[in-house]
């Protein structure tokens, strides 16, 4: 049975894109990555996608006068590739309202915090400054407002006493690579519904542990 035709939008490294591509290729996930698009010609992730035999294209913001024309070019590239569903994976452009509405509930993003906390950039620096003891990552449907939208999957990680932004980012990223393929799988299996800006997942199993930080003395 043909799977959900997925496009992935990147701007840089593309490690989440890789996790999605690998999950689609190596497992029974009923989704196929039909194209990887970047707004930056030098995005490292493009090489990986090409080597994996996936169609790639660059839609350069500089070649388009305003956001509407950039969004229209992006939309045209997605339609040309036959995409039915879009995953943002480190895509660093804010998409306009008409694009977001056009792809409503077929457009998801990953963010390296437990939303709705720590929206925006420099998440890990702000997490460390704030002193929260648990951070994490979120896969969510995209709405016009940045880092807002129905939450599909989250993973939590402890913030360690000696963490730097880099060490925390690495710990969170490892979980991103787990939850993004999981979210796509749940969607491809038709188990995810958006009801009143909340996500309902059929057959959902509860998390298997609680996370305390610090641990109590035993």
Residues contributing to the site for ligand GRF (CB under 6 A)? 10, 12-17, 89-90, 110-112, 173, 176
Torsions phi, psi for 167 (to 5 deg): -70, -40
Nearest approach, Cβ of 179 to ligand GRF (angstroms)?
10
Residue carrying structure tokens 């990223």? 173
Q: Tell me the CA distances in angstroms from 170 to 35, 108, 175, 195, one per residue in order.
A: 26, 22, 9, 33
The DSSP result for 45-56, as a single string, is HHHHHHHTT-EE
Minimum CB distance to ligand GRF smaller for 72 or for 173? 173
For the bound state, the minimum distance from the C-beta of residue 88 to ligand GRF, rounded and expressed in Å, comes to 7
Minimum distance of ligand GRF from residue 15's CB (angstroms): 3
**In contact, 7 and 36? CB cutoff 8 Å:** yes
Active site residue 111: yes
- E-strand ranges in 59-217 read 85-88, 107-111, 134-141, 151-158, 192-195, 198-201
Q: How far is the CB of 174 from ligand GRF (least distance, A)?
A: 11
Point out the residue whose Cβ comes nearest to ligand GRF: 90
Select 132 or 173, whichever has its Cβ closest to ligand GRF: 173
200 token code pair = 């309902």
Which of these is catalytic: 64, 111, 124, 140?
Answer: 111
Residues with active-site annotation: 111
């Amino acid at each position: 049975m043909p799977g959900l035709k997925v496009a992935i939008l990147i701007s840089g490294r593309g490690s989440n894109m890789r996790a999605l591509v690998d999950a689609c290729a190596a497992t029974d996930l009923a989704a196929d990555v039909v194209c990887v698009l970047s707004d930056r010609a030098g995005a490292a992730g493009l090489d990986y996608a090409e080597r994996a035999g996936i169609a790639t294209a660059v839609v350069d913001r500089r070649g388009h006068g305003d956001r509407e024309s950039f969004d229209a070019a992006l939309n045209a590239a997605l339609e040309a590739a036959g995409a039915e569903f879009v995953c943002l994976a480190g895509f660093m452009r804010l998409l306009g309202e008409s694009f977001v509405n056009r792809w409503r509930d077929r457009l998801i993003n990953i963010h390296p915090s437990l939303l709705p906390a720590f929206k925006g950039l420099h998440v890990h620096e702000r997490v460390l400054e704030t002193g929260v003891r648990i951070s994490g990552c979120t896969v969510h449907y995209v709405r016009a407002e940045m880092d807002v939208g129905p939450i599909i999957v989250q993973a939590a990680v402890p913030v360690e006493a000696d963490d730097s932004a880099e060490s925390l980012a690495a710990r969170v990223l490892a979980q991103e690579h787990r939850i993004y393929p999981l979210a796509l799988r749940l969607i491809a299996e038709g188990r995810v519904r958006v009801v009143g800006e909340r996500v309902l997942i059929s057959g959902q199993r509860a998390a298997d542990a609680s996370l305390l930080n610090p641990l109590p003395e035993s």
